[in-house]
Amino acid sequence: MGVQTIATPADGGAESITERLAAVEAQLAGLDREALHAALAPLIAELARERPVREACAAVVRSLTLVRRLFTLTRSADAIPLARAAHALAARTGDPGLERRAARACGNVLGDAGDLVTAIEYNLENLHQAAAEGNRVEMALAWCNIGVTFSAAGNYALAAPAFRRAIEQVENLPSAGFALFAPCSNLASASYHLRDFEEGLVYARLAEKQLSPAIRQEDPQAELLLHRNLVNLLVATGSVAEAEHHALEAGRLAQAIGTPRAAVAAAVARATWEVATGRHEFALTRLDKVIETSRGLPATLRETLVCAIRAEESAGNPERALMRMQELSDHIYRAAIERVKNRVELERLFREAAPEGDAFVEQERARLTARIEPPREPGEWKALERMAQAAALRFDPTARHGERVGALTQALAAACGIDPLRSLEIGLASRLHDIGMASVPEGIAAGHAPRNPVERRLYLRHAEAGGEMLNDAHHPRLLLARDIAHYHHAHWDGTGHPEHVGGRAIPRPARLCAVADTYDALVCGDGAQPACSMDEALAVLARGAGTLFDPEIVPRFDAMIREQADELGLDTRAAAGVDAFGELVTSLQEDRGFL
């Protein structure tokens, strides 16, 4: 029997590609995004070529090493194309373990880059495969990574159950190792954020018991983060003296690891302990230095600023604490915008690298199909939809708020007499209306209590952020989406956001979306208030007609909902309107013969 190969189109040498990947890693410090992309693009193309399975596996492993290095340098977005190419190659090797490893890498960098929904999909793929095999260790790792992704969204209430599911899979396995260590450590962190300090400490100590020489050698960053978690929890529960050991261990590990992420995590752990022992000047000096480092590494700045706010407040410096709070708010806002713009830039770079077809044929195809089909979607559309879903995870566990609002807005546009193709484009654009929610601090985005005036202002900034995220748009659908995102909280009487924009000065698609958005929040509940019946929600809209909403649009929406509900035999008065509403939205998403 000959050497087994993977059936792909062309030829390629795995040895050379592993050497070239290593060379790129060695030069990372001097490569900006475009230069890195230029170096990786031919290598990513080469990963798709035919090669012996053993060499293919080596190429995957080498690619994943570079992906991990980019992750540690807080350049996860730059690693996404390489991670996906490695996963595609791993899938063709027939090695399920390697394929799972590559899928985990994809989930990690996508989650770190803010594409939380796609990250969860990769981890669900691993979970389903592991469940089919009855592999409890792999199931635990998949559940743990799902929890990590929810944590990245700031939704610790969803993250904690995922970590518990991971622990359940392996808590009775004597050789669970990292598969038990990781969810225990992460559950300790989630419990800290949920202010359940005692439970967090239980799981942190359980994770500490799982630390083995193998874990320490293979993932020293994970050990460092456990020490950081222990510092936080021990300080929170009053065991300050014990926290010192873990702060010192975090510092020792950071020196050995030598990455920016490690240095920041250790510095924050040490400062947390110093604040607890009254060493405010030491802590503040340390934090001032690490903040300067963190500004160049956005993924680390949030944790540093939170610690600085606590340190300034504890030191009796409320003015400086407020200054840091403003910087934190601005950082969250700017970082969310940058994440979206980075993803769009990556999509652009890859479109530019794609082989071009015959220009004349493409022009003729576009001219003819424009008459019978909706306009082609923007090249970055899928990425933007995923980023909008990720933003929705902060307040909607289903992440489908944008999808529901899009379906309602499309149906409402048609009910208002807008032609079918334009209605379709308005509905699709409305899916991105809350893409700016990623810019709102998670405690405010979740909306678990009435927002005070300051929180309300921070919440409404998501409309500005959404407009800014889409500010460079040129495609008609994205121009629609930009207006909808920016103006969907404007009020008919001019009292909304942006201020003094009212009446017909509000773009009509945004007026349509505002009605659909409010209705969805009322029927599904938005954290600040429980779900209500469809009838009650329609009554709220009616009371807002002429002040909050366009008075011509609200009655058309009311008629459209009642007509559709009657057609489906739904009771709009039912107290629990969510299920019926879901059926209604599903019906609106079906092809109704308009196109």
Residue 587 — pLDDT band, cuts 50, 70, 90? low
For 240, the 3-state DSSP assignment is helix
Question: Is 197 contained in some domain?
Answer: no
Neighbours of 495 (CB within 10 A): 13
* pLDDT over 60 (residue 370): no
Instruction: Specify which of 186-200, 279-293, 523-537 reaches the highest per-range mean pLDDT.
Output: 186-200
Q: Which of 164-173, 346-355, 362-371, 473-482 has the highest mean pLDDT?
A: 164-173
Distance between alpha carbon 246 and the CA centroid of its chain, in Å?
30
Q: How confident is the model at residue 465, as a pLDDT?
A: 92
pLDDT at 9: 39
| pLDDT higher at 382 or 373 | 382
Look at residue 528 in the predicted model and tell me its pLDDT: 59
Per-residue pLDDT reduced to its tens digit, 51-102: 889 999 999 999 999 999 998 888 888 999 999 999 999 999 989 899 999 9
Report phi then psi at 171, rounded to 5: -65, -20
Average pLDDT of the segment spanning 296-307? 76
20 in a structural domain: yes
Which pLDDT score, from 0 to 100, does residue 442 have?
77
pLDDT score of 490: 94
Domain boundary among 113, 144, 162: 113
- What is the predicted pLDDT for the residue at 288? 87
Measured in degrees and rounded to the nearest 5, phi and psi for residue 11 equal -110, 155
What's the structural domain count of the chain?
2
Q: Residue 199: inside a domain, yes or no?
A: no
Quote the mean pLDDT of the chain. Answer: 84
- Sign of dihedral through CA atoms 550, 553, 557, 559? positive
Q: What is the pLDDT of residues 493-521, one digit of tens each?
A: 999 998 888 999 999 999 999 999 999 98
| pLDDT confidence band for 362 (50 / 70 / 90) | very low
Distance, CA of 378 to chain centre: 21
* Domain membership flag for residue 575: yes
| 125 within a domain of the structure (yes/no) | no
| Residue 286 belongs to some domain of the structure | no
> Can you give the pLDDT at residue 409?
95
pLDDT for 2: 46
Instruction: Detail the DSSP E strand segments found in 456-558.
Output: none
Arithmetic mean of pLDDT, 532-549: 93
Q: What is the CATH number of the domain that holds 435?
A: 1.10.3210.10
Residue 451: C-alpha distances to residues 157, 486, 522 (Å): 19, 21, 16
Residues 424, 410 contacting (CB under 8 angstroms): yes
Q: Average pLDDT for residues 231-250, to the nearest whole number?
A: 95
- The dihedral formed by the CA atoms of 344, 345, 346 and 352, expressed in degrees to the nearest 10: 110
Buried b (16+ CB within 10 A) or exposed e, 267-285: bbbbbbbbbbeebbebbbe
Residue 580's pLDDT is what?
63
- Alpha carbon separation from 436 to 32, 222, 385, 474 (Å, rounded): 26, 31, 12, 19
Q: Dump pLDDT digits (tens) for 99-140.
A: 999 999 999 899 888 888 888 889 998 899 899 889 999 999
DSSP output for 358-384: -HHHHHHHHHHHTTTSPPPPPTTHHHH
So what's the pLDDT on residue 253?
95
E-state strands within 252-411:
none
Q: Are 204 and 161 in contact (CB under 8 A)?
A: no
Looking at residue 380, what is its pLDDT? 85
Quote the pLDDT of residue 374: 53
Q: State which of 98, 113, 128 marks the end of a domain.
A: 113
User: Is 394 a residue whose pLDDT tops 60?
Assistant: yes
Residue 483 in this model has a pLDDT that exceeds 80: yes
Query: Dihedral of the CA atoms 27, 33, 39, 42 (nearest 10)?
Result: 150
**How far is residue 14's CA from residue 12's CA, in Å, rounded to a whole number?**
6
Taking the alpha carbons at both ends of the chain, their separation in whole angstroms is: 55
In a domain, 309, yes or no: no
Mean pLDDT score, 160-183: 93
Give the percent of the chain with pLDDT over 90: 47
Full residue range of the structural domain in which residue 486 is found: 376-589
User: Which residue, 591, 231, 261, is CA-closest to 411?
Assistant: 591
How many Å separate Cα 217 from the centre of its chain? 30
Bridge partners of 545?
549
pTM higher than 0.85:
no
Mean pLDDT value across residues 202-206: 96
Return the minimum-mean-pLDDT range out of 437-446, 453-462, 540-549.
437-446
Q: What are phi and psi of 589, to 5 degrees?
A: -80, -10
Give CA angle at 431 (428, 432), nearest 5°.
115
Q: What is the pLDDT of residue 179?
A: 94
Of the residues 85, 113, 141, the one at which a domain ends: 113
For residue 242, pLDDT beyond 90:
yes
Over pLDDT 70: what percentage of the chain? Answer: 86
CB burial of 152-162 (b: ≥16 within 10 Å; e: otherwise) equals bbbbbebbbeb
Which of 260, 270, 322 has its CA nearest to residue 75?
A: 260
Answer yes or no: is 47 within a domain. yes
pLDDT of residue 365: 45
DSSP state letter for 66: H
